[in-house]
Structure 1
Amino acid sequence: MDSSSVPLLRVRDLAVSFKTTGGDVDAVRGVSFDIPQGETLAIVGESGSGKSTTAMAIIGLLPANGRITGGSIEFNGRELVGLPESEMRGIRGASIGLVPQDPMSNLNPVSRIGTQVAETLLAHGKATRKNVAAKVIEALTAAGLPNAAERARQYPHEFSGGMRQRALIAIALACSPKLLIADEPTSALDVTVQRTILDQIDRMTDELHSGVLLITHDLGLAAERASQLVVMHRGLVVETGPAAALLATPKHDYTKALVNAAPSVAAIRARSIPARPVIHLADRPDVAAPAAPADNIVEVRGLTKHYPVRGQKTPFVAVDNVSFDIPRGQTVAIVGESGSGKTTTARMMLRVFDPTSGSINFNGRDVAKLDKKQLRDFRERVQPIFQDPYSSLNPSFTIGRIIEEPLVAYKRGSQTERRTRVRALLDQVALPTTMLRRYPSELSGGQRQRVAIARALALNPDLIICDEPVSALDVLVQAQILDLLTELQDRLGLSYLFISHDLAVVRLISDRVCVMQNGAIVESAPSEQLFSNPEHPYTRQLLASIPGNELQIA
């Protein structure tokens, strides 16, 4: 047989089950697909559909309670099912690279970034002690990290979420593997860096004739980057075919539901957007603040945050003279690339960080001047939804206790009333009540994020600061959460600060958008005005970088 006709990866009738306290759970059932040399295949489906479990089975990294119960996995003509762990270790990293889903928990917190890249290179003989430093810089640069030599000396906690994801991508690509398994490789990245990373993966595929298994909930990305698409639902493959054609004319009801739920930058929010003038603070540094409407729940003026840098006299300016308002009952979105200052701004608004200068007024009060009791009241009225669904949940608490915790802390209701409220919150975020006794480690990334959202809603706050609240969610649940946030806003008069790198999502939910670059707001306008007529070059660059934008998926 001609070796060129043999797929790089051949999966046949793969079955995976997990042992749980309630018995065996069949997570993957009879999955089959091929990845030819030099091709990209994408697997899409909702959280818990078996996408990541399939990937972990291929690379031999199933959890201790998981096992392959049937089927075959052939890589380069070699059967991987049943292969001793000692042999699998030689394949991982060198021949099959992995970009894991979570950029926060997959890096060693006490080891420098450069050291972690070097370990991979040295372990597989891709570098020597003499040239490993240069190879590390090369790998970090290829993954889109600027100032790679400086970044290599830093620790994971000094990186933003997107920068950590790029470090993981550098580790995965360092040894030029024949197959790259990319599990949501760009979910934490802004669209400009996302395009850089995906272009790098494409170059690797072309130059090395490698294959890519792309796991994503972004249908636009799948259509743009993959030649073949596999749709999974509840552990089964329900539809497969050429990516663009399958998404353009889906046949299975579940695929149709995915396509219909996918946000598109072409979509227009149903709500009416008030017309307001465009403000260019970067172009007019003398302008300290926008004109304030009569009723703003939040007014931010001249917000600045400096960080000292080891070995340097000049501090790093993370946020530079930022000013904006959040009108009561509306959504203001902040967009920009990783490291632009979005999350730092949010944390100052939560008083996790104190600003170097400037002010944040909430309901007419300066947040920096609140006493202990006032700060407690403030934190009851302002709730966060954090970017990372892994580290923001206590791993030793059950899901029921996690959601109930704010109610207990603020002495809301009796125990029976709190349990009823917790069940209602689970229902609001599309989670079954069977989750109550589970722990975060037993949930998928998307399920954990839904728990975090339920916890934020528990106290019926006035303002929710949403830091990438749907980046870990599949499109079906993402649509449910965005609908839920909009419904709650309409019904309860909630206000949102919505931080995201997903401009399609931002267009669906926001009334006004602020674009940040290098710590400063460079453009601010009503949502539809900004998307239909962007004025700043950086805004236009962001819009042009959205994956699948030209394909009009949705």
Structure 2
Amino acid sequence: MSTPSSPLLQVRDLTIGFRTPGGIVEAVTGVDLDVAEGETVAIVGESGSGKSTTAMAVIGLLAGNGDVSRGSIRFDGTELVGLAESRMQKVRGASIGLVPQDPMSNLNPVSKVGTQVAETLRAHDMVGRDGLDAAVHAALAAAGLPDPAATAKQYPHELSGGMRQRALIAIGLACRPRLLIADEPTSALDVTVQRTILDQIERMTDEFGTSVLLITHDLGLAAERAARVVVMSKGRVVETGSAEQILSQPEHEYTRRLVAAAPSVAIARAVPISRPTAVPTAVAGEGEGSDGSTGAPTAAAPDAVDNIVEIRDLTKVYRRRGRRDDFVAVDGVSLSIPRGSTVAIVGESGSGKTTTARMLLRAIEPTSGSIRFDGEDVSAMDTAALRRFRENVQPVFQDPYSSLNPSFTVQRIIEEPLAVYGRGSGSERRARVHELLEQVSLPTSTASRYPSQLSGGQRQRVAIARALALKPRLIVCDEPVSALDVLVQAQILDLLADLQRELGLSYLFISHDLAVVRLISDHVCVMQNGRIVEQAPSEQLFESPQHPYTKALLASIPGAALGAA
């Protein structure tokens, strides 16, 4: 048993290897880690740093080709390395709980939520048959689900992302374990939902006296939620310290890079942001919320000639089959994008920001309202004009893993728009591809590789190179960095800013992450329930938000309250 002087979890010299056709690949090397009773410790690092592999070794859930080749994992005085699976099953769930990252792949899609909670309770004999339903409802209620009896009868696909994550929390904490491993529990969620989920985990673990091992790539979130932070890079622990020490006096070069690259930490410290000098102004009368409130004061509207895009009273209504009421996805949106500037639209999932972007791209047609590009009505364009429009307006999508054709080489991916528009001979197109790769800081040798052979950041650079192929004037960036680690995210944001300065590009930047928006935008439009509730120059909006929703978004940024820690 652990004593007051010994940690609940003690990891020493942990080394983990994976068997591959090319031999053993060592993913974790010599990791030391302690978690005390009731303590929250965060492990921070990029994808591939070994943080999740370390956590999965603790709970005995390494992939089939993975083994602990050296070291010790002691939980409450019991050695877990080499423990028989029958005994490990009793530890897992009852003593060590898990809240994994992706609720859609970690909840059984053909099993009701209540059934999945009940399986955990039954597996550890936590309750008899007569009290099972009540225990399931209590677990769901403790995880913050508003109608636990109804939720128990639903399937995962019938719940929102936040509700699915709460269901995983209910399963992870159903048996009131002494240690909870939370592996990127909010990375796929909007910032306000993220804060709600983290608050719920904190309330429950405080109530149960549970220790928490939090796995995250977000340093601001780690510093806000954990007493101690463990920084991992390339399978090793490079630094361990209090949240305050890691943020204010990082010792390792990698930690310093993480701190410098974390958008939420930059906001907390009010780091000056270098952006192109063009500062857009809002259209007079914009910013009126659905409740009749107005956003921050706006300047007079610029001359139309200064705006590459003008959107007026844009509305998108979806007819719902079998229902009398329609769904209004976008409701009377007006905004302008001045030439050479970045306008961001921020809001939660379902706010209408992506629908607005898709209407601008002519991927979907608006129900009403107008979009003018370079003074020309987009909806009235004939075939030739629309072809010119598509040359000048290019998208960069969220997921670099699904937006690139996996069966094409990088050469073919980037060359494809050039071929479609008949630009140049084969040799000229190849030369243009090499030029574009250099422009996005990739070696020309990348041209012969396939997407599967590239990292996430490299794939997103390829997507940007493809968007630049036709020399567009406007790029619509739809969550272009949300799938990337913080260091890669910073590289892509720097690249976008450099390209804007070099090529005079204009951006419409769609994001749910205000911390990222703060770093790249000149002007911010905040959307809620299909409407723009506030818009203002970036500095003004962040320093003096007016609308309650904007204030709630800002307050929810992980690490935003850390100040100049």
TM-score (norm 1): 0.83
CA, structure 1 residues 80+376, in 2 after alignment: closer, same or farther (shift >3 Å)? farther
Q: Tell me which residue corresponds to 1:121.
A: 118
Q: What is the aligned-residue RMSD (CA, Å)?
A: 4.1
Quick check: 1:282 aligned with 2:306?
no
> Retained in 2: the 8 A contact 1:162–1:338?
no
User: 1:473-511, CA deviations, whole angstroms, 9 ceiling, x for partnerless residues?
Assistant: 333222211111101111112221112232222111111
Work out the CA distance in 1 between the residues paired with 2:198 and 2:479. 20
Partners of 2:113 and 2:153 within 8 A in 1: no
**Residue-by-residue CA offset, 1:432-486 (whole Å, 9 max, x unaligned):** 7897787766776666655555554455433222222222333322221111110
Per-residue Cα deviation, 1:519-545 (whole angstroms, up to 9, x for no partner) = 211111111111122122222222223
1:518 is the counterpart of 2:523 = no
Structure 1 stretch displaced more, 168-177 or 205-214: 168-177
In 2, distance between residues paired with 1:442 and 1:61? 27
Show CA shifts across 1:187-219 (max 9, x none).
Answer: 333332222111111112211122222222322
Match for residue 217 of structure 2? 217
What amino acid sits opposite 1:187 in the alignment?
A: S
Give the letter for the 2:226 counterpart: A
Worse-superposed segment, 402-411 or 43-52: 402-411
What residue in structure 2 maps to residue 194 of structure 1? 194
Structure 1 stretch displaced more, 452-461 or 439-448: 439-448
Q: Quick one: distance in 2 between partners of 1:454 and 1:83?
A: 50
CA contact 1:162–1:188 (8 Å) conserved in 2: no
- Which region of structure 1 is more displaced relative to structure 2, 483-492 or 472-481? 472-481
Q: Structure 1: any 5+ residue segments left out of the alignment? A: none
Partner of 2:555: 544
Q: Does residue 362 of the first structure (1) align with residue 394 of the second (2)?
A: no
Cα 1:423–1:238, aligned 2, differ >3 Å: closer, same or farther?
farther
Contact 1:217 1:473 in 2 (8 A): no
Residue 131 of structure 1, CA deviation: 8.3
Deviations 1:117-146 (A, max 9, x none): 642433442789998888777767766677
Structure 2 CA distance, aligned partners of 1:300 and 1:151?
41
Structure 2 CA distance for aligned equivalents of residues 157 and 464 of structure 1: 33
Letter in 2 for 1:58: V
Shift of 1:177: 4.2
- Aligned-partner residue type, residue 396 of structure 2: I
The equivalent of 1:81 in structure 2 is 81
- Equivalent in the alignment of 2:227: 227
The question of whether the paired residues in 2 share the 8 Å contact of 1:107 and 1:168 is answered with yes
385-394 or 335-344, which deviates more = 385-394
Q: Per-residue deviation at 1:345? A: 2.2
Q: Percent identity?
A: 67
Equivalent in the alignment of 2:271: 267
Q: Is the 8 A contact 1:381 1:461 kept in 2?
A: yes
Q: Give the number of the structure whose alpha-carbon radius of gyration is greater.
A: 2
Unmatched 5+ stretches in structure 2: none
SS in structure 2 of the partner of residue 339 of structure 1: coil
1:23 positional shift: 4.9
| Conservation of the 8 A alpha-carbon contact between 1:229 and 1:246 | yes
**One-letter identity of the residue aligned with 1:491:** E
- Residue-by-residue CA offset, 1:20-65 (whole Å, 9 max, x unaligned): 5655432221111012222111112233322233233334444455
Change (3 A) 1:175 1:525: farther
Kindly indicate whether the alpha-carbon contact (under 8 Å) linking 2:114 and 2:151 is maintained by their aligned counterparts in 1. no
The secondary structure found in structure 2 opposite 1:231 is strand
> Please, which of 310, 321, 339 is the counterpart of residue 332 of structure 2?
321
Q: Give the aligned residue type for 1:198.
A: L
Letter in 1 for 2:368: S
Q: Secondary structure at the match of 2:472?
A: coil
Contact 1:348–1:355 (8 Å) recurs in 2 = yes
User: What is the Cα deviation at residue 404 of structure 1?
Assistant: 5.7
Aligned residues between the structures: 550
Aligned to 2:273, what secondary structure does the other structure show? coil
Residue deviations 1:265-303, cap 9 Å, x none?
Answer: 22232233637368422279799x994542322222222
Q: Equivalences for 1:329-344 in 2 at 5 Å? A: 329-344=340-355
Q: Which moved more, 1:491-500 or 1:118-127?
A: 118-127
Matched, 1:33 2:38: no
* 1:487 alignment partner, SS class: helix
Structure 2 counterpart SS, 1:344:
helix
Paired residue type of 1:122: E
User: Which is further off, 256-265 or 75-84?
Assistant: 75-84
> Is 1:527 equivalent to 2:508 in the alignment?
no
